[in-house]
Amino acid sequence: MDIATIVGLIVGFVAVGVGMVMKGASLTSLANPAAILIIIAGTAATVLIGFPMDELKKLPKLFKIAMTNKEYFSKVELINMFSEWVTISRREGLLSLESKADEIEDAFLREGMQMVIDGNDPDFIETVMLNNISQMEARHKNGALIFSQAGTYAPTLGVLGAVVGLIAALSHLNEIDELGHLISAAFVATLLGIFTGYVLWHPLANKLTQKSNKEADVKRMMLEGILSLQAGDSTSANTQKLMTYLSMAERKRLEAGGGEKATQSA
């Protein structure tokens, strides 16, 4: 599980709930069927209108991605791995890496290595792998956009819900005892719209975008290593190229000989 996402959701709900109690507002006021219908069903309707069904079918998978961590090769581990491969290829030739390629679990890296072993042109390999990265980023962007648009629609629907509630309240101006309750209920939709938009949907969209950027960065590093390996660069030259993808802290750990686990979570 992605602990940050889970903790963030819990803190968000607790903050609003405790804040309402501290302000003297009753939590039972949130149990407003009309407001919930306008916000939840209304947001669902806008998303259904705005996106094709084949994209919306991916929503369960997108929620899973946002709530869980995916294991990737760590960047330091990739550098160590490519250093080993460069050493082997310079000593025994690229064909000697075929057994190594078969052991690679990551499909993107395995495909790239196989193209190198098969003797494909560097430009061809770069084009194919960059296209794969671009297509992946496009898919991820479309997924994040669903949540982003939901976050944009929900607060506006909250205003719509408040307007509907105020219309109902104004029709009961002669009922003074009920007026305060009706006005309070009118703004529940606004609260729900703003909360779901800015505490749920927009943050989930941002989380998906961050995960996509991290995965794309690792894949670009893989591509750099593959092209360097094919070009016959020395181990030090290969390492220097790949180190440009590391943060300063990671570079210092690598230079100090510090190890790192073979995978990293995102």
Residue 266 has what pLDDT?
56
- Kindly state whether residue 211 falls inside one of the protein's structural domains: yes
Residue 24 sits at φ, ψ, to 5 deg, of 90, 10
The CB-based long-range contact list for 40-44 (8 Å cut-off, 24+ gap) reads: 40/196, 42/153, 42/157, 42/160, 42/161, 43/150, 43/153, 43/154, 43/157, 43/196, 43/201
- Kindly state whether residue 13 falls inside one of the protein's structural domains: no
- Kindly state whether residue 176 falls inside one of the protein's structural domains: yes
For the stretch 79-91, pLDDT in tens is: 999 999 999 998 8
For the stretch 5-62, pLDDT in tens is: 899 999 999 999 999 899 888 888 888 888 899 999 999 999 999 999 999 999 999 9
pTM, full prediction: 0.84
Distance separating alpha carbons of residues 108 and 131, to the nearest angstrom: 11
* C-alpha distance from residue 12 to each of 31, 155, 197, 210 (Å): 18, 16, 12, 20
pLDDT-based confidence at residue 220 (cuts at 50, 70, 90): very high
- Kindly state whether residue 42 falls inside one of the protein's structural domains: yes
Residue 212 has what pLDDT?
93
- Kindly state whether residue 3 falls inside one of the protein's structural domains: no
Helix (H) or strand (E) holding 3, with range, is helix 3-22
Instruction: For residue 239, give the nearest of 48, 83, 112, 120 by alpha carbon.
Output: 83
- Kindly state whether residue 170 falls inside one of the protein's structural domains: yes
Residue 250 has what pLDDT?
81
Q: How many CB atoms lie within 10 A of CB 186?
A: 22
Contacts of 252 (CB under 8 A, 6+ apart): none
The answer, yes or no, to whether residue 260 has pLDDT greater than 70, is no
- Kindly state whether residue 17 falls inside one of the protein's structural domains: no
More confident residue, 260 or 8: 8
Structural domain range at position 131: 34-258
More confident residue, 265 or 45: 45
Residue 39 has what pLDDT?
94
Residue 264 has what pLDDT?
54
Instruction: For residue 78, give the nearest of 266, 227, 247, 219 by alpha carbon.
Output: 219
For the stretch 150-199, pLDDT in tens is: 999 999 999 999 998 888 888 877 777 777 778 888 889 999 999 999 99
Measure CA 195 to chain center: 20
The answer, yes or no, to whether residue 262 has pLDDT greater than 50, is no
For the stretch 96-151, pLDDT in tens is: 888 888 888 889 999 999 999 999 999 999 999 999 999 999 999 999 999 999 99
Span 204-233, average pLDDT: 94
Distance separating alpha carbons of residues 90 and 88, to the nearest angstrom: 6
More confident residue, 2 or 140: 140
- Kindly state whether residue 240 falls inside one of the protein's structural domains: yes
How many domains in the chain? Answer: 1
